[in-house]
């Protein structure tokens, strides 16, 4: 029994620490806050039942983050920036308030919004901002981000009153409007989208270019006095009023309460207005108002005893399923999507969610006309929680994807060993458009400026019937300009030049662009490294293809069948006649001693280069790009929102490069 508990504790701790790293150090969480909280509750419960098994390195004994050097030097905390104890029920709140009132009957509590952002401490000396520090490890040190902080909305470089020393703790956040604007720009520039405003704010605050802060519209709310010299403060609400007088933005609509009933009413009131706020909150904070009483209550090694954070459960809404729409992707995979009556979740209106496949539909037993419960995973992606079968008042029919393609009507079959249903017609219009979008994308031929809008126009006007037709568009140049399908002369010529230039791309890009199921960038590189030419791969049998690392039975079969398709044979012939590079040996490699035989890791988002471009530049000069950092790594190229790979590089002493340093290395 003890061994089982010990094993369960070890598994939980490992999982929570991994999610801590993703959240604090990579700004890319894989699970929702609610799911994380449930893991922590389970761990706390087990440790409470088995106190002899509590370890010093348990997540319950530590603050989550690790200070990183991305934005500046490390600075020691004058006052620890502790996290708050999370609670999840009215009973938890009542217990917290009752326990304090038992010893301090005159105690007041302040209830305020819990902003979903990241903490920052501002240090003012004689009214002048000298240092801004991130939370870092919360106990010992954080990062110096002073230059960036001066570009936050709400941060003043000077204050009206010149106290000898004032340290203010605030929360850096993004409004939903600012977040949507940033993601729109990321999409337009073919860059990775941010998962949510909190992640975007965290990555932006660590930017080396402080102008990005202002451009992205990051803001701050002050929520706590850390330390003051030259003026005596007695209550928390007094400090909030003082911050406001000094021009420092504070949390809106805080409430001072004296009873547990008033505290709970304030928490409920915040939840009711949650969706109307222009920024994200994930709960309400309850704090002791008296600063002297806070001192008496003190703190544990991780959390203060004078405050708790009540976490709201994931917002869910019930709505009616109106239809299930079927769409066809580039590989022929048929994806069902639920269309339901619009509901507002986490500040936005949603009306659709993926249903994944037939197995998912069957497991939910979801039927058109059902009342369903929807929520947002990570407060971003709409998902269906369940079907309210008790509200199914009439006989509704089970939904089946069927055995025909919803676009072209060709037979649709279920893949072996998967839950996917695919259209068997390789000429299906939906598949063709998807294949072309994939072909020109950065993971394949990387023809910049050749977007979905142009592809659709050219298909509709009859200029594109297969992939190879892209390389014959130059012959219709004048006609394209006259019809304005791509734009005027300049735009059309620019795109045609990029198409022409892509003919010299490495063959793995061409292979990845074919859209063969299971054959993406990594698999295409492995296949070309083994076969060297497209022609050699085209005549290989399944057993030979399976000799390639990471190519299994299913993938080998897909590759084999692709090169035996009559239409694909014709398309390959047209590509050869167009002058495509199909021989790995034809790729020109520039000699650069700084890069040749060196190993690189790319992490974060580079300001002006995509990872694809950076990888291509390294490989062209004889270098290698790998996904993980080790002692054998020569360089780590660091971009925005760099995470655990940067931390590991620093720990191992691996040289790190900014984009400018990386470009200089390539040209030396």
Question: What does the DSSP assignment read for 402-424?
Answer: -SB-TTT--BEEEPTTSS-EEE-
Q: Are 281 and 155 contained in the same domain?
A: yes
Cα–Cα distance, 600 to 275 (Å, whole number): 44
Question: Of 574, 582, 519, 593, nearest to 551 (Cα)?
Answer: 519
Give every CB contact of residue 604 below 8 A, 6+ residues apart in sequence: 203, 638, 639, 640, 641, 642, 643, 646
112 annotated as a binding-site residue:
yes
Cα–Cα distance, 599 to 202 (Å, whole number): 29
Q: Are 324 and 302 contained in the same domain?
A: no
The C-alpha angle 268, 175, 166, rounded to 5 degrees, equals: 85
Instruction: Tell me what pLDDT residue 460 has.
Output: 85
Q: Please tell me which of 40-49, 186-195, 377-386 the model is most confident about, judged by mean pLDDT.
A: 40-49
37 annotated as a binding-site residue:
yes
Instruction: Tell me what pLDDT residue 613 has.
Output: 76
Cα–Cα distance, 456 to 453 (Å, whole number): 5
Task: Count how many domains the chain has.
Answer: 5
Reported as a pLDDT band with limits 50, 70 and 90, residue 71 is very low
Is 391 among the domain residues?
A: yes
Instruction: Tell me what pLDDT residue 9 has.
Output: 86
Instruction: Tell me what pLDDT residue 186 has.
Output: 77
Q: Please, are residues 280 and 116 in contact by the beta-carbon 8 Å criterion?
A: yes
Cα–Cα distance, 600 to 623 (Å, whole number): 7
**Domain-terminating residue out of 414, 438, 453:** 414
Q: Are 267 and 163 contained in the same domain?
A: yes
Is 421 among the domain residues?
A: no
Q: Please tell me which of 45-49, 387-391, 602-606 the model is most confident about, judged by mean pLDDT.
A: 387-391
Kindly tell me if the per-residue pLDDT of 70 is higher than 50.
Answer: no
Residue 236 CB coordination number (10 Å): 25
Cα–Cα distance, 352 to 574 (Å, whole number): 41
Locus of tokens 């490699």:
589
Is 545 among the domain residues?
A: yes
Q: Are 254 and 121 contained in the same domain?
A: yes
- Of 19-33, 208-222, 278-292, 541-555, which range is least confident? 19-33
Kindly tell me if the per-residue pLDDT of 66 is higher than 60.
Answer: no
106 annotated as a binding-site residue:
no
Range 412-419, long-range pairs (CB < 8 A, 24+ positions)? 412/334, 414/358, 416/554, 417/554, 419/356, 419/357, 419/358, 419/359, 419/360
Residue of 540 and 620 predicted with greater confidence: 540
Q: Are 179 and 301 contained in the same domain?
A: yes
At 605 the three-state DSSP class reads: strand
Kindly tell me if the per-residue pLDDT of 550 is higher than 80.
Answer: no
Question: What does the DSSP assignment read for 35-54?
Answer: HHHHHHHHHHHHHHH-GGG-
Q: Which two tokens stand for residue 338?
A: 């639920």
- Of 241-250, 354-363, 472-481, 635-644, which range is least confident? 635-644
Is 296 among the domain residues?
A: yes
Integer angstrom CA distances of residue 286 from 64, 121, 167, 198, 289: 21, 20, 21, 22, 9
CATH code, domain carrying 47: 1.10.287.610
Q: Please, are residues 308 and 285 in contact by the beta-carbon 8 Å criterion?
A: yes
Q: Are 660 and 578 contained in the same domain?
A: no
Mean pLDDT for 335-350 is 86
**Domain-terminating residue out of 536, 551, 586:** 586
Q: Please, are residues 116 and 173 in contact by the beta-carbon 8 Å criterion?
A: yes
Sign of CA dihedral 512, 517, 522, 523: negative
Q: Phi, psi (5° rounding) for residue 632?
A: -85, -10
Three-class HEC string of 279-328: ECEEEEEEEECEHHHHHHHCECCCCECCEEEEECCCCEEEEEEEEEEEEE
The C-alpha angle 620, 622, 623, rounded to 5 degrees, equals: 100
Cα–Cα distance, 656 to 146 (Å, whole number): 22
Is 88 among the domain residues?
A: yes
Q: Are 368 and 222 contained in the same domain?
A: no
Q: Decide: residue 232, CB within 10 A, 0-12 exposed, 13-18 middle, 19+ buried.
A: exposed
Is 117 among the domain residues?
A: yes
Beta bridge partners of 219: 153, 173
Integer angstrom CA distances of residue 68 from 1, 121, 171, 284, 648: 40, 16, 18, 29, 10
Q: Beta 109-115 vs 281-288: how paired, if at all?
A: antiparallel
36 annotated as a binding-site residue:
yes
Instruction: Tell me what pLDDT residue 68 has.
Output: 45
The dihedral formed by the CA atoms of 428, 434, 435 and 438, expressed in degrees to the nearest 10 = 180
Is 419 among the domain residues?
A: no
pLDDT digits (tens, 9 = 90+) for 514-542: 988 889 888 898 898 888 899 999 999 99
Q: Are 246 and 363 contained in the same domain?
A: no
CATH code, domain carrying 223: 3.30.470.30
Residue of 44 and 106 predicted with greater confidence: 106
Integer angstrom CA distances of residue 48 from 8, 41, 44, 45, 91: 14, 10, 6, 5, 18
Kindly tell me if the per-residue pLDDT of 379 is higher than 90.
Answer: no
CATH code, domain carrying 482: 1.10.150.20
Mean pLDDT for 240-250 is 95
Domain range spanning residue 55?
A: 2-61
Kindly tell me if the per-residue pLDDT of 207 is higher than 80.
Answer: no
Cα–Cα distance, 84 to 251 (Å, whole number): 17
Interhelix angle 452-460/429-440, nearest 10 degrees = 140
Residue of 134 and 590 predicted with greater confidence: 134
CATH code, domain carrying 605: 3.40.50.10190
**Domain-terminating residue out of 372, 389, 414:** 414
135 annotated as a binding-site residue:
yes
Q: Are 338 and 223 contained in the same domain?
A: no
CATH code, domain carrying 392: 2.40.50.140
**In the annotation, is 114 catalytic?**
yes
408 annotated as a binding-site residue:
yes
Is 537 among the domain residues?
A: yes
Q: Are 120 and 237 contained in the same domain?
A: yes
Reported as a pLDDT band with limits 50, 70 and 90, residue 226 is very high
Residue 258 CB coordination number (10 Å): 15
Question: Of 326, 519, 498, nearest to 409 (Cα)?
Answer: 326
Cα–Cα distance, 328 to 406 (Å, whole number): 8
Any idea what DSSP says for residue 21? I
Integer angstrom CA distances of residue 96 from 85, 284, 305, 656: 11, 14, 9, 47
Q: Are 272 and 399 contained in the same domain?
A: no
Instruction: Tell me what pLDDT residue 69 has.
Output: 41
Cα–Cα distance, 282 to 91 (Å, whole number): 19
90 annotated as a binding-site residue:
no
Cα–Cα distance, 80 to 173 (Å, whole number): 21
- Residue environment code for 358-392, b if the CB has 16+ CB neighbours within 10 A, otherwise e: beebeebebbbebbbebbbebbbebbbeebeeeee
Q: Are 381 and 492 contained in the same domain?
A: no
Q: Percentage of the chain surpassing pLDDT 90?
A: 44
Give this prediction's pTM: 0.54
Locus of tokens 């061994």:
3
Q: Please, are residues 93 and 101 in contact by the beta-carbon 8 Å criterion?
A: no
Q: Please, are residues 64 and 142 in contact by the beta-carbon 8 Å criterion?
A: no
Of 114, 235, 302, 376, which residue is the catalytic one?
114
Any idea what DSSP says for residue 343? E
């Amino acid at each position: 029994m003890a061994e089982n508990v010990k094993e369960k504790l070890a598994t939980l701790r490992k999982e929570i620490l991994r999610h801590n790293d993703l959240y604090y150090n990579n700004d890319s969480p894989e699970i929702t806050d609610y799911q994380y909280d449930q893991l922590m509750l389970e761990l706390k419960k087990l440790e409470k039942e088995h106190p002899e098994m509590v370890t010093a390195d348990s997540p319950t004994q530590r603050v989550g983050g690790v200070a990183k050097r991305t934005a500046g030097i490390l600075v020691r905390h004058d006052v620890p920036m502790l996290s708050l104890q999370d609670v999840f029920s009215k009973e938890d709140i009542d217990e917290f308030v009752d326990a304090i009132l038992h010893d301090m009957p005159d105690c007041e509590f302040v209830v305020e919004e819990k902003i979903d952002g990241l903490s920052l401490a501002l240090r003012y000396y004689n009214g002048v901002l000298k240092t801004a520090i991130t939370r870092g490890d919360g106990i010992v040190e954080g990062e110096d981000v002073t230059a960036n902080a001066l570009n936050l909305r709400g941060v003043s470089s000077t204050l009206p009153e010149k106290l000898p020393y004032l340290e203010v703790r605030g929360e850096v956040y993004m409004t939903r409007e600012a977040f949507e604007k940033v993601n729109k720009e990321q999409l337009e520039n073919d860059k990775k989208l941010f998962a949510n405003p909190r992640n975007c704010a965290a990555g932006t605050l660590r930017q080396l270019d402080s102008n990005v802060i202002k451009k992205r519209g990051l803001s701050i709310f002050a929520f706590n006095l850390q330390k003051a010299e030259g003026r005596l403060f007695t209550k928390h609400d007094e400090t909030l009023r003082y911050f406001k007088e000094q021009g420092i933005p504070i949390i809106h609509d805080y409430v001072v309460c004296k009873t547990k009933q008033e505290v709970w009413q304030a928490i409920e009131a915040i939840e009711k207005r949650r969706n109307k706020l222009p920024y994200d909150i994930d709960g309400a904070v309850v704090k002791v108002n008296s600063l002297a009483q806070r001192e008496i209550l003190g703190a544990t090694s991780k959390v203060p005893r004078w405050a708790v954070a009540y976490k709201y459960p994931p917002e869910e809404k019930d709505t009616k399923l109106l239809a299930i729409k079927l769409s066809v992707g580039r590989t022929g995979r048929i994806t069902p999507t639920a269309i339901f009556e619009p509901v507002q979740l986490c500040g936005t209106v949603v009306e659709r969610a993926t249903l994944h496949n037939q197995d998912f539909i069957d497991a939910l037993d979801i039927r058109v006309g059902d009342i369903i419960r929807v929520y947002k995973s990570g407060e971003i992606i709409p998902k269906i929680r369940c079907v309210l079968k008790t509200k199914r008042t009439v006989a509704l029919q089970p939904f089946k994807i069927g055995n025909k393609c919803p676009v072209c009507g060709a037979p649709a079959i279920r893949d072996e060993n998967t839950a996917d249903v695919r259209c068997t017609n390789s000429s299906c219009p939906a598949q063709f458009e998807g294949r072309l979008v994939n072909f020109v994308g950065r993971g394949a031929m990387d023809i910049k400026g050749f977007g979905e809008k142009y592809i659709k126009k050219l298909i509709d006007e009859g200029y594109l019937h297969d992939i190879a037709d892209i390389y014959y568009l130059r012959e219709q140049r004048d006609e394209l300009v006259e019809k304005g399908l791509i734009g005027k002369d300049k735009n059309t010529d620019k795109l045609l030049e990029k198409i022409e230039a892509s003919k010299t791309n490495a063959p793995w890009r061409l292979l990845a662009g074919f859209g063969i199921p299971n054959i993406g960038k990594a698999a295409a590189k492995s296949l070309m490294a083994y076969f060297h030419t497209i022609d050699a791969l085209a005549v290989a049998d399944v057993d030979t293809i399976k000799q390639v690392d990471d190519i299994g039975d299913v993938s080998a079969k897909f590759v084999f069948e692709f090169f035996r398709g009559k239409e694909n044979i014709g398309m390959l012939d047209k590509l050869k006649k167009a002058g495509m590079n199909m021989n790995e040996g034809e790729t020109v490699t520039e000699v650069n001693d700084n890069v040749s035989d060196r190993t690189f890791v790319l992490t974060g988002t580079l300001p002006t280069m995509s990872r694809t471009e950076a990888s291509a530049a390294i490989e062209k000069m004889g270098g290698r790009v790998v996904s993980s950092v080790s002692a054998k790594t020569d360089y780590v190229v660091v971009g925005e929102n760099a995470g655990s790979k940067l931390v590991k590089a620093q720990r191992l002493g691996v040289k790190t490069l900014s984009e400018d340093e990386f470009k200089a290395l390539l040209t030396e």
